[in-house]
Amino acid sequence: MTTATLTPAQMGKLKNHVSLGQSVRNSFTMAYRGLLKVRRTPEQLIDVTVQPIIFTLMFGYLFGGAIGGSVAAYLPVLIPGILVQTVITGSVTTGVQLREDMDKGVFDRFKSLPIARIAPLAGALLADTVRYAIATTITLIMGVIMGWRPGGGFWHIVLAGVLVIACAWAISWIFAFFGVIARSASSVQGISFLILFPLTFLSNAFVPVNTLQPWLKTFVSFNPVSHLITAVRDLANSGTITGDLWIALLGAAIIVAIFAPLTVRAYMRKA
């Protein structure tokens, strides 16, 4: 009795002929692997569990009286801003962990398996949506504990959360691209925060736009993060769907249209 072995060329040919259904199943398997990693190292969730609590308390009690007149009056402005900032910042982890797995040779081991080549990348992006959902839930609960009473109703709040998660998933393609092409995980993190800090802090997340300098007001008004925050505020606080929601979705679609092909192409070259 003999055992048949596949050569690297045959293995590559087999992967190239993986069906769409198997690619989807493999991607969800890789996503489950990502969730198992979180269970074994729960400290990976610090940025989406502890950070929203600290930021909500810190900004609420430090700036609530100065900006809103009181903490309760400031919360309808603050909570959507903290929500967007926390979830979008959490998307950086996608690129960092992707780079770490590639540096450790994890993806090299995946090459020897008869799975879709795209599955490890797709699985990582799918698994991180769970992290975004955790950050969204904790931020909203923290706001209610502090006295925030959104007037949009339950389903509009859910829609606001789904909107933030969808936009964060779209933005994670940018950092996944950095994760594939960068030389180290630390460089991915450095580049990512260099992009995110101006976008999140130079927005309407924490202060009224009309209090800013004219040049800064122009930047904030065109900042796509400002449109997302405004859309979340309108949904959560008043239950209204405005043009900012469609602008946020359009921006997310453009990001995916640009960075998804770039990321997949760069990844497939190395996979």
pLDDT tens, position by position, 41-100: 777 778 788 888 999 999 999 988 888 889 999 999 999 999 999 999 888 888 888 888
How far is 196 from 189, CA to CA, in rounded Å? 10
163: which 2 tokens? 């909107």
How far is 237 from 233, CA to CA, in rounded Å? 6
Q: What angle do CA 201, 205, 208 make, to 5 degrees?
A: 105
Q: What is the pLDDT of residue 253?
A: 95
How far is 146 from 144, CA to CA, in rounded Å? 5
DSSP state of 44: G
Pick the closest to residue 235 from 223, 224, 219, 246 (CA basis): 246
Global pTM value:
0.86
How far is 271 from 102, CA to CA, in rounded Å? 10
